[in-house]
Every structure is written in C-alpha cells, then in structure tokens.
C-alpha cells in the first residue's frame, strides 16, 4: 500500500528499451549483477543505493529524473 508520503518509480526497464540494450548488456556495462538490474527494473528495491544510481545514469547517459519519478500521495475519498 502506498505510504502517505508518496512513492518513487524506477523507470529502468523503460530506459533500457529506449537505449536499445538488454538487461544482460546493461549488467555487463555497469558491472552489476543481472539479478540486481532485474530488481531495479521491477521496482522491487526497498532502499536505493546512490552508487548504483550513479552507475546507471553514467552507463545509460541519462539524468536522474530520467531514471526516477516521484509520485506524491493522493488521498482516496
């Protein structure tokens, strides 16, 4: 359930496709475990690692706002 503070969406899967890469190629280029890439693609990450975010932005040649999107909390009426 969405917390009252909103949530972050990791748009890695979208970026990978946009750049014409695969998870395997990104894993190799970013020197990261494939499973870690897969978890970021599925938004299955409890805590973001700043070093990982920097690696991904560098390898994908993107800005942090291309990778992460904040969705504010909206109360249900």
CATH number for the domain harbouring residue 24: 1.10.260.40
Is residue 69 within a helix (H) or strand (E), and if so which, with residue range?
A: strand 68-71
Q: Domain range holding 41? A: 7-66
**Residue 64: helix, strand or coil by DSSP?**
helix
Q: What predicted TM-score, i.e. pTM, was given to this entire model?
A: 0.85
The residue written with tokens 């750049």 in the block is 19
Q: What is the pLDDT of residue 4?
A: 84
77 in a structural domain: no
Asked, for residue 71, whether it belongs to a domain, the answer is: no
The number of domains in the chain is 1
> In DSSP terms, which residues pair with 8 in a beta bridge?
70
H-helix or E-strand containing 71?
Answer: strand 68-71
In a domain, 32, yes or no: yes
Per-residue pLDDT of the chain (77 residues; tens, 9 = 90+): 456 888 899 999 999 999 999 999 999 999 999 999 999 999 999 899 999 999 999 999 999 999 999 999 886 54
């Amino acid at each position: 359930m969405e917390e009252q503070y909103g949530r972050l969406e990791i748009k890695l899967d979208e970026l990978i496709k946009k750049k014409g890469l695969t998870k395997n190629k990104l894993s190799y280029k970013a020197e990261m475990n494939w499973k870690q890439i897969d978890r970021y693609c599925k938004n299955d990450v409890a805590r973001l690692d700043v070093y990982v975010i920097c690696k991904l932005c560098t390898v994908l040649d993107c800005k942090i706002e291309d990778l992460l999107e904040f969705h504010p909390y909206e109360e249900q009426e």
